[in-house]
């Protein structure tokens, strides 16, 4: 089986190997502030409640519209 043929069909492009994919992927390292905010419990609780409040308001508006 050639590099171009995968599962019986030809794509016209060569497939990248796993090694090529791993070397071409670039992900930045989080800063110290980002890591702090991810683990800071008061910030996480604030985000949790604000997201839940937004969802409750959105669901409430949808239910109100469909009466």
* Range of the structural domain that residue 48 is part of: 5-65
The b/e string for 15-38 (b: 16+ C-beta within 10 A; e otherwise) is eeeeeeeeeeeeeeeeeeeeeeee
Q: What is the mean pLDDT of the chain?
A: 80
What pLDDT is recorded for position 9? 53
Question: Cα 59 to the chain's mean position, in Å?
Answer: 23
**Cross-strand partners of 44:** none
Task: Give the mean pLDDT of 10-36.
Answer: 77
Give dist(CA 65, CA 67) in Å, integer: 6
Question: How distant, in Å, are the alpha carbons of 13, 17, 53 from that of 10?
Answer: 8, 16, 50
pLDDT average, residue stretch 22-32? 81
Domain count, the chain: 1
């Amino acid at each position: 089986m050639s590099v171009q043929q995968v599962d019986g069909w030809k794509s016209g492009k060569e497939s990248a190997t796993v090694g090529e994919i791993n070397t071409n992927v670039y992900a930045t390292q989080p800063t110290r502030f980002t890591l702090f905010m991810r683990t800071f419990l008061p910030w996480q609780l604030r985000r949790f409640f604000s997201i839940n409040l937004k969802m409750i308001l959105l669901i409430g508006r949808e239910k109100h519209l469909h009466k």
